[in-house]
Amino acid sequence: MLPLLAVLADGTMAGTEGAQAAACVRKVALFKNGCNWVEMSATLPDAQSVRITAMPDALLGTVWWDAASGVRQLEGDSVEVEKSVEDYGYADLLMANEGKQVKIFSKNRQVEGKLLPPAKRETPKGSFPEPEGEQAPNIPKIFFVQTVDGVQSVAAEDVMGVDFAETPQLPMRKVMSNIVTAQLDKPNPGAEFRFGYVSDGMSWLPEYSLELSEGGTAKLTCRANIINEMADMKDVELRLVSGFPMLGEAMAPSPLNRALKLQDFLKRLGFLTEERNYTNLRGVSSAVVAAPCAAESDDFEDDEGSEDSKQVEDLFCYTLPHFSCERGKSLLIKLFSCEVPYSHVYTCCVPNQSMLERLSRSGDPVADVWHCIRLSNTGKQAWSTGIVTCTTGGQIVARSTLYFAAPGAETLLRLNKSMQTRVQCSEELVKREERNVPGRRDDSVTVSTFRGTVTLRNSSDRPMELRLTKEVNGLVTEAGKEGRTSVSPSYSGNPHSVITWKFTVQSGEEAELPYTYEYEND
């Protein structure tokens, strides 16, 4: 990957030399799975070899740039840089301020004086010290202070506070950091080097609020939760993408990340034990051949911050034209608000006969009835799948999932379980016979015919529009004039059938839904 590099206040990178150009983010297309398409640019200095700083992490095979800038390849390397220690403790702070006047507060006393360098650990001849771990910082276990009464020691684990006579130096640590160098055919000062790639470290999730009114309309408000752990962004164009793009090798880092050695890179791809695949990767190196820049694609042309969502192939994008967010922060931003029509509908799914035998007793309700609302997307914005909080008169009535709906489409939102509706199901064997089946191992098969009835009673004070389904192991032969049957083949011999009824039950009334099916016995 291309990690974020340490950049000083004057724009130079600590621990590096030579011509440099700081890259800034221009556009980001943000997917909900944590991957994103990033477009960046940098102004090239008067040099043929330029180090590009402040680049986020790229994924394998996704770095593309505009060859018109004269850049012919990118090279990955690593250098030693000083990096500030995050979440440092007292021990880190003391180690960074040797020779300064300090007051150390420990559990039972306080020690004041000049902080001395820690005692160096000598390596005995013919032996080696135990390793402390690859990432373990070299922090002493005991600190020494020159006081007026002599040298006193304080155990690092006992330090409860420190006070310096002057402003202390914040802890810094030398680490290996990756850099990327752009090689040009010839110097091209002032040219814009534009490039794009797939990265990770940033994602978004939609959330909705839905206020239901009595007139059959509801106010839908969509907000975006944006989590940024990728890079600092200032006045960039952000596209929030709804859909499921194919991102091959989405978790494989770019070979430009020299912190990842070849063997680890191959393990990540799962190619280490397969010689033929290893051969195919021998052309992969720390240089990438120039190609047309994806930043020039019409898919992400400017649209002056239109509130309408933009469709690209099977993806829908919400545009935030002037987005700013520091790395490590998260934001909650309103995307849109609109009035939408809705209607009430109740749904119920009665399981097949084998499930009913295991899960219910005679006379018990066999399935739950769910109070749902049918929402029609009459606006120009696509609705991305996300959590929705439903309220009526300011009171919360449900917290559910709003599923994707393109403009002009409908979606069903489940609110809560109806406690005033009772569904029962009864079946009886009406006939059993032997039938000849050509091509079967046996000349004949036993077929049982069952007749069943689903009974539903509406005990509420309002009519209920119902969508009721009944699953059946077998071939449905009759489902009434209102029933619609779909059949799926099964390798067990009996097909899987689903009966669907759509009807309305008035308040206090009962509906009986008959059906008949045939079942082949083993």
Q: Which residues of 185-205 are buried (b: 16+ CB within 10 A; e: fewer)?
A: eeebeebebbbbbbbbbbbbe
**CATH number of the domain encompassing residue 429:** 2.60.40
* Residue 246 resides in a domain: no
Instruction: Return the DSSP state at 191.
Output: -
Asked if residue 124 belongs to a domain, the reply is no
Residue 436 lies in a domain: yes
pLDDT reported for residue 114: 93
In a domain, 492, yes or no: yes
Q: What CATH number is attached to the domain comprising 115?
A: 2.30.30.520
- Rounded CA-CA distance 104/154 in Å is 8
Residue 308 lies in a domain: no
Q: Is residue 431 part of a domain?
A: yes
Q: Is residue 489 situated within a structural domain?
A: yes
Any domain includes 215? no
Residues of the chain with pLDDT under 50: 1-16, 128-136, 271-307
**Cα angle for residues 356, 429, 487 (degrees, 5° grid):** 65
Is pTM, for the whole model, over 0.95? Answer: no
> How distant, in Å, are the alpha carbons of 85, 86, 145, 187, 518 from that of 174?
10, 13, 25, 32, 76
Query: How confident is the model at residue 505, as a pLDDT?
Result: 93
What's the confidence (pLDDT) of residue 380?
84
% of the chain residues with pLDDT over 90: 43
pLDDT at 209: 96
What pLDDT was estimated at residue 88? 85
Whole-number pLDDT of residue 376:
94
Residue at which a domain ends, from 170, 185, 212: 170
| Containing structural domain, residue 144 | 90-119+137-170
Residues 75-94: tens digit of each pLDDT: 877 777 777 877 788 888 88
Q: How many domains does the chain have?
A: 2
- 299 DSSP assignment: G
Give 278-331 pLDDT, tens digit per residue: 333 322 322 333 333 333 333 333 333 344 566 766 678 889 999 999 988 999
pLDDT of 366: 86
Q: Quote the mean pLDDT of the chain.
A: 80
